[in-house]
Amino acid sequence: MFPLYRRDDRRLPGDFEGHVVTCDVDKTYLETDFRSLGGLLRIPLEWAEDKLTVPGMAAALSALRHGPGAQSRLTPLYFLTASPPPLARSLERKMLLDGVQNDGITCKAWKTILMRRRPAWIKRQIAYKLSALLHQRTFLPREAREILIGDDIEIDPLAYALYADILAKRIDDTELLIWLRHEGCDVDEIREVMEHKSALRRPGDRVEAVYIRLVSGRGPATYHVFGADMVTYRSPLQLALSAVTRGYARETDVVEVARELLDGHGVTPEVIDDEFHGAVERGLLTPALAYETHDQLQILGLASKLDPTVNRVEARCAPSRDGRGGRWTPSLEEYEQAMTQALATDSAGNEAQRSFDF
């Protein structure tokens, strides 16, 4: 088994058919510096009060936790981090401060990795993320439907796509081996992933949606190769808008996300307007829902005035695959082409320049 630590505070009944949300921590929930060695070493040493939440993300996760109905359905929420187990206690304290309820966390076991003399595993993530997701799935009810949230700094889009297709048996061992080698996994990492895969007792097409926060500077088009149900978002506001469209959250939750963004984060009502317009342009919600939700924000002074051209945007919101969709993972050639094009894009002209920057 890949060296990991998992804490699960909630056992779901065997006939559970609802959603389970798994959220990455670094750059998805917390603004973490893990690109440098110094940043990595500071992660387990920071106090909860020193950790910075991605603005709006606490409210967005609370919205998913509550669900679309008047009464909270207490949607199971788990966190996944490549940080070591000692972070779990600090993270629990941080979530308490943010008012985010959760049911457990999976961490990477740094101590065991170093004892095995595999220091490169601390920075490499694909084998760990796949192992952690597969391991968690063995504890979930067969019909549970998954919503995965991550970012595009490292390998979340690919890891989540591979996981969804492994779960649905759309990728065989040979193709999985090719992908793991392509991502630089060594023989032992590959063996660990294959062992977790073989331990999977309840396979099925159960990944319903993947949300990826755009942080790297790449545009949304980069991730079109993963299919319509991989939803990229600039800010948690766009995540919340898509969640409302797909029936994962309430319209009123958008107000709470917008309020969190405006309170102390330097976000203006005009920026909120821009995020709405961008969400409609990319098909994250319909123009009708945009106007309806935006009007609530405008009445409360949380938004200014939506551009009237938004009403002329074609409604093209992709329907949820509802656990019955096709393959997520592109071919290796399609993936490499998308990444190459992303690297060749002039950042000055990239749509990512319109992202929230506060």
Predicted local distance difference test score (pLDDT) of residue 39? 52
User: Which has the closest alpha carbon to 159: 138, 185, 120?
Assistant: 185
Cα(323)–Cα(304) distance, integer angstroms: 38
Task: Tell me if 82 sits within 8 A of 125, measured CB to CB.
Answer: yes
Question: CA 212, 164, 60, 76: dihedral to nearest 10 degrees?
Answer: -160
What are the pLDDT digits (tens) for 131-170? 999 999 999 999 999 999 999 998 999 999 999 999 999 9
What is the gyration radius of the CA atoms in the chain, in angstroms? 20
Asked whether residue 315 carries a pLDDT value surpassing 80, the answer given is no
Domain 1-234 sits in CATH 3.40.50: yes
Phi-psi region of 301 (alpha: psi -120 to 50; beta: other; left: phi over 0): left
What are the pLDDT digits (tens) for 67-81? 999 999 999 999 999
Tokens of 349: 């002209």
Burial (CB count <10 Å: 0-12, 13-18, 19+), residue 217 = middle
**Mean pLDDT for the stretch of residues 19-29:** 95
Domain positions in the chain are 1-234, 251-316
- pTM for this entry: 0.91
